[in-house]
Amino acid sequence: MAFKVEEALDIIYKNVSPKSIKILPIEQALGFVLAQDVIAIYNLPPFNNSAMDGYAVKIADAGKSVKVKHTIFAGDDSSEILKEGFGIKIMTGARIPEGCECIVPIENTQVTNEGVNLPEDLVDSRHIRFAGEDILQDDKLLSRGERLHAHNITLLASQGISHIKVYKKPKIALFASGSELKMHFESVTSYQLYNTNTPTFYSRALELGCEVDFIGTAVDTMDDIKEHIQSALDSDLIITSGGVSVGDADFTKEAFAAFDCDIFFDKIAIKPGKPTTVGKIGNTMVLNLPGNPLAAALNFELFAQSIILCLSGAEDKYIRPIKAKIQEDYKQRAGRRSLVPGYFDGEFFKVCPKFTPGMVSPLAQSNAYIMIDESCESLAKNQEVKIISTRFSFTSQNKESLISGDRG
């Protein structure tokens, strides 16, 4: 029996979790997922300081001339006390002296032989940055499950945090099976093909934040496929393509069975990609994808990406669709969920003019796909659809329907 897409994804969500944790210097933690909450150790700013180069003054001296004898620079440990009738020159970032009520920017003053003339419109606390106005001590800055980007590193550095606990990046092992396949750096004969699937998976897994090993291309023999499986068992996820249909030389499922692979599902009610298979050997997840390039790539986006998100430790582990309008009428034969590639321009989704499961050109021409409900026979121009990006990873902490054209 073929599983519905939603059922297959729920099985993945229930059976896949991050494996291990490590501690990294914050400079090396970019792209990793936090394995701890981060709590503010200090107020930021840690003390009241000047937001401008100017003069620290009293409100009572508005419109008057004040005497200025001292300058406080950023980093000075000044003990100056400001009194009425006086001002203290102060630089941006310098600690506010005791008694200061506001900062007057240099350009708003006039220096004379008698002192510094102040404007009439002084406002209490103007141009003063107060301790903790940016970050308060004991505030939660980051949560476990957040993926670290450059500005998260900014937060960590602001607290003097040098090392952080993160989940290890998912380790992915890739191989293809098929005696007719050769790698792009090899010569092919008239009856052979270049292996496009493995380079595609490799590149996309890197984009999704994985560590990737290419095991090679297995010929269509039980022994060779088993050898490739054995060499990949130290990974978090093995991804293969080809050898999962019912052809005489398709040995992949049988080879995995020799390792007591626990099969979660081996048929999906989807087109293309029905023979997609997910299972587990010990602690290693297994994803067998179809050999046809377009079918393999689209199902990678749906199932491999979901497994990788779960392995990463990210809280936002669910694929999030983007709402768009279909640019032209589109018709299909009802009966099975369909994956349809196309191009999203920010408003409209345009279906690729020509695509079949064995093609590669639609992958380069598209940047997204839609999954059309099995009951749907047509989509009308400007009808709302839910696109899934193939160039980026849009995710959510909440599970959302990915289906377009459903009657719900």
Range of lowest pLDDT (12-16, 303-307, 404-408): 404-408
- Domain 318-404 class in CATH: mainly beta
pLDDT at 191: 64
| Cβ–Cβ under 8 Å, residues 26 and 163 | yes
CA nearest 293: which of 313, 273, 277? Answer: 273
pLDDT at 248: 40
| Domain 5-18+169-312: CATH architecture, name and number where available | 3-Layer(aba) Sandwich (3.40)
> Tokens 């179809």 — which residue?
290
Angle between helices 305-312 and 5-15 (to 10 degrees): 20
User: Topology of domain 49-129, per CATH?
Assistant: Molybdopterin biosynthesis moeA protein; domain 3 (2.170.190)
Give the mean pLDDT of 91-111.
97
Percent of the chain with pLDDT over 90: 82
pLDDT at 249: 47
What is the Cα–Cα distance from 42 to 60, expressed in whole angstroms? Answer: 34
Q: What is the DSSP letter of 54?
A: E
Domain with CATH 2.170.190.11 in the chain: 49-129
What is the Cα–Cα distance from 69 to 89, expressed in whole angstroms? Answer: 8
pLDDT at 18: 93
pLDDT at 1: 79
| Domain 21-44+136-167: CATH architecture, name and number where available | Alpha-Beta Complex (3.90)
Q: What is the DSSP letter of 234?
A: T
- pLDDT tens-digit map of 236-265: 999 998 765 555 446 788 899 999 999 999
Q: Assign 184 a pLDDT band (cuts: 50, 70, 90).
A: confident
What is the Cα–Cα distance from 41 to 364, expressed in whole angstroms? Answer: 48
Amino acid identity of residue 75, one-letter, is G
| Cβ–Cβ under 8 Å, residues 238 and 279 | no
- pLDDT tens-digit map of 269-321: 999 999 999 999 999 999 999 989 999 999 999 999 999 999 999 999 999 99
What is the Cα–Cα distance from 129 to 13, expressed in whole angstroms? Answer: 46
Q: What is the DSSP letter of 358?
A: T
Give the mean pLDDT of 336-355.
95
Domain with CATH 3.40.980.10 in the chain: 5-18+169-312
Q: Cβ–Cβ contacts within 10 Å for residue 19, how many?
A: 14
Domain with CATH 2.40.340.10 in the chain: 318-404
What is the Cα–Cα distance from 250 to 240, expressed in whole angstroms? Answer: 12
